[in-house]
Amino acid sequence: MSAIQFEKRGHQAWITLNRPEAKNTLNGEAFVGLADAWDEVRADTDIRVAVVTAAGDEDFCCGGDLGDVIPLWTGAREPTSELEERLKNDPLISDKVMLKGEPLYKPVVAAINGRALGGGTELIQATDIRIAAEHAQFALPEPKLGIVPGAGSMVRLTRQLPWAHAMKILLGGAPVSAGEALAMGLVSEVVPLSDLQARAEYYADAICAQAPLALQAIKRTALETHTQPWAEAFGFEMGQAADIMMSKDAREGTRAFREKRAPEFSGE
């Protein structure tokens, strides 16, 4: 079976890390598959939201499968397939997986079904609405191996959380429980595992009921202005607002409100 499963459900893309027997670690196939999945979400104008989750009920993602990918990246092993050629020869593959390169302005929901360690914790930082199962744990154990969490955490975490919370995860070494992650603001909500799928579906459906261009403009503004001075950020915001006001969906939304009916948004 594929290491990454991609399923399109109406306007939703469901991306599943599918290596439960290996703690859903990212091997070469998973790296390439997840990068391709994000590209498809970005390129398909019919997709309005992505949901990323994982198979099984123990692990969301426990980082990279180092035994598989490191030998290729260091040259200790030569590629034996087209997939491995891509993994070795694309220096930005990790950035693509963690959405560090080309931005993705469509909303992303994470349904965290278990432990998110190392790259798993880094991956959820690239998502927007994060729902964690009660038994989920989060940690960045890379310094215990003499390396750093360099797939986004050293930058993103201090921008997404208060300093002391971010540093507890970055420097503390110990796993953080789902409840503590909720208190920190690392996740949006915590639910029983049995409710996880339904909550992810709820948010995906709620997103699809809204104007896609408006939501993308909101996310784009939040990302682009995060470190800008106030005046510059407000200018960017006004530009986005003006663009959206000229869209067909803006006209449809106001018309539907007057006519007391549900709007039919087209993404135009």
**Residues noted as catalytic:** 122, 142
Contact 142, 148 (CB under 8 A): yes
- Return the closest-CA partner of residue 180 out of 163, 193, 168, 197: 168
The pair phi, psi for residue 60, each rounded to 5°, is: -80, -60
